[in-house]
Amino acid sequence: MDDYDAFLDQKAQVGADAGFDPSWMPGELFDFQRALVEWAQRKGRAAIFADCGMGKTPIQLTWAENVVRRENRPVLVIAPLAVSSQTIREGAKFGIEVKRAESGMAFAPAVHVINYQRLHHVDPSAFAGVVCDESSILKGFDGATRDAVTVFLRKVPYRLLCTATAAPNDYIELGNSSEALGYLGFMDMLARFFKNNRNNSATNRMGKYDTGPMWRFRGHAEKPFWRWMSSWARCLRRPSDLGFDDSRFVLPDLIEREHTVEARRPRDGMLFAMPAFGLAEEREERRRTLTERCEMAASLVVNTGQPAVCWAQLNDEADLLERLIPGAIQVSGRDTDEEKEAKFDAFSSGAARVLVTKPAIGAWGLNWQHCAHMVTFANHSFEQHYQSVRRFWRFGQTRPVVVDHVLSDGEGRVFRNLQRKAEQADRMFSEVTRHMRDELGIARQQRAFTKEAEAPSWL
């Protein structure tokens, strides 16, 4: 019986049924940022899916500081690796003291920050609120880490999820956020709003959730779905998505260039280069053309004299790029967390001109507006590519951002697939914001003030 009671207690949610009005607001916040803080504070448990550069860090720190002041208890911000130092610096700009959370420390009533990888060192019962910064990164962790974060949040009264890409290809993944906040669980959401086209389990043979085209809205369920989601989340790519002015949030040009290199030798059994089909051939193509691609990538940054980031997919790619580019520093999985953070800080401060790393290590949460050039290799993951680009192409960037795609003559299919996913994600997010604006009445309010009177069609 004791074991069963413990099991039920682990599954139970403890959270604020309602939040409170914020008592403090930094004067530096923009109008739409203040509106988001006020809404999330009153909600108590909420999600903000705002595009890169929209100021999620000051929003979440203001939210956290208000919880500290009301409850007189600590609040924890969970962030990707190397974002902790950035969060501390951002807090100082807005008059918020942010302390680094350490194992075994006595947590004073203040805002603390810790990396996702170190979350197991702290007890959730110590905190009145938790912020998950770049919460979409959880999809990149193993299932045990994702489950640990969800369990950690269950016993915390106030919760806030912040990310730029909650669901870049498939909005069904919003169910993960709902479950973490203590609303509908992932499977409950599927059962209520979606129909399984294939009439099979919601999990595939690998044991992971399959959220592909097998799921579609039930009849007449689409509008209730957006109404439900609008009750706990806000999505925006620009201030006008919430009815505010966009004039201070205009992005510079994004220049994408494609560089195709020829392999020095064709694949075994072939007289000339052929497109790679399937993951096995793509992996073989990537290995076979490693030297040619790295030499091209290095040539694009060696003599520019400007900051640049080279995103690698393989360890061998990163090692070779580090050797080919004088003065480049590499952040790799071999480094300790402290070494990674020190290298990221060196690039952010300008002490290092060229950074070499993988998107899985450094593509989330960091602000690198001082850099306007990146080089990347072909990759099927749209989310990794999107986050990589948005480290530089974000509000606050003053120069056009150059993205150099380096691929072999056999990797064209991979590159086209990435472009297709980008177009699909843009359509999806447009639909998300359109439905949310309709549910919130934003579009109707704006039309009421701006739309000219129309005569009936019969006249």
The tens digit of pLDDT for each residue in 185-213 reads 888 888 888 887 765 544 443 334 444 45
- Render pLDDT for 254-297 as a digit per residue (tens, 0 to 9): 999 999 888 756 555 554 555 554 556 667 777 888 899 999 99
State the pLDDT confidence band at 48, using cuts at 50, 70 and 90: very high
Asked if residue 156 and residue 40 are part of one domain, the reply reads yes
Does 398 lie in the same domain as 361?
A: yes
Whether residues 21 and 97 share a domain: the answer is yes
100: alpha, beta or left, given left = phi > 0 and alpha = psi -120 to 50? Answer: beta
Residue 198, pLDDT score: 63
Q: Does residue 398 lie within any of the structural domains?
A: yes
> Quick one: 236 and 278 in the same domain?
no
Residues 174 and 272 reside in one and the same domain:
no
Helices (H), 130-277: 143-154, 174-181, 186-193, 222-230
How confident is residue 457, by pLDDT bands cut at 50, 70 and 90? Answer: very low
Sort 185 into a burial class: Cβ within 10 Å, 0-12 / 13-18 / 19+. middle
Distance CA 193, CA 187 (A): 10
What sign results for the dihedral spanned by CA atoms 364, 365, 371, 372? positive
Coil vs helix vs strand at 66:
helix
Residue 207 lies in a domain: no
Mean pLDDT check: name the lowest of 12-16, 104-108, 326-330, 447-451. 447-451
Q: What is the mean pLDDT of residues 157-169?
A: 76
Give phi and psi for 369, each to the nearest 5.
-70, -15
Residue 14: which of 178, 181, 213 has the closest Cα? 181
Higher pLDDT: 59 or 414? It is: 59
pLDDT at 136 over 90: no
Same domain? 317 vs 374 = yes
Alpha-carbon distances, residue 401 vs 131, 137, 245, 254, 255 (angstroms): 30, 24, 24, 5, 6
Q: Evaluate whether residue 447 is within a structural domain.
A: no
Average per-residue pLDDT for the chain: 81
* Cα–Cα distance measured from residue 444 to residue 396, given in angstroms and rounded to the nearest whole number: 31
| Residues 35 and 119 reside in one and the same domain | yes
> 179 is in which domain, residue-wise?
8-183+232-242
Q: Which range among 20-34, 83-97, 145-159, 352-366 shows the weakest confidence by mean pLDDT?
A: 145-159
The pLDDT of residue 226 is: 83
Residues 419-435 have a mean pLDDT of: 77
Same domain, 302 and 237: no
Residue 93 sits in a domain whose CATH number is 3.40.50.300
Condensed to tens digits (0 to 9), the pLDDT of residues 301-344 reads 999 999 999 999 999 999 999 999 999 999 998 999 889 989 99
Give percent of the chain above pLDDT 70.
Answer: 80
- 237 with 375, same domain: the answer is no
For residue 434, tell me if it sits in a domain.
Answer: no
Q: Answer whether residue 253 shows pLDDT above 80.
A: yes
pLDDT at 211: 42
Instruction: Please determine, for residue 7, whether its predicted confidence score (pLDDT) is greater than 50.
Output: no
Q: Is residue 217 part of a domain?
A: no
Domain count, the chain: 2
The residue behind tokens 């939210």 is: 63
Measured in Å, how far apart are the chain's first and last C-alpha atoms? 76
Question: Do both 179 and 314 map to the same domain?
Answer: no
Residue 57's contacts (CB-CB under 8 Å, 6 or more residues apart) are 86, 87, 90, 133
In a domain, 188, yes or no: no
Q: Which of 122, 117, 133, 158 is nearest to 60 (CA)?
A: 133
Highest mean pLDDT among 2-11, 311-320, 429-438: 311-320
Residue/partner pairs of 69-72 with CB below 8 Å, 24 or more apart = 69/23, 69/24, 70/20, 70/23, 71/109, 71/128, 71/129, 71/157, 71/158, 72/109
Q: Are residues 93 and 135 in the same domain?
A: yes
Q: Which residue, among 385, 387, 384, has the nearest Cα to 367 in the 3D structure?
A: 387
254: tokens are: 């994004």
Q: Are residues 258 and 176 in the same domain?
A: no
Q: Compute the CA torsion angle 336, 130, 170, 55 (nearest 10 deg).
A: -80
Q: Whole-model pTM?
A: 0.79
Question: Helical H runs in 45-173?
Answer: 56-71, 83-93, 143-154
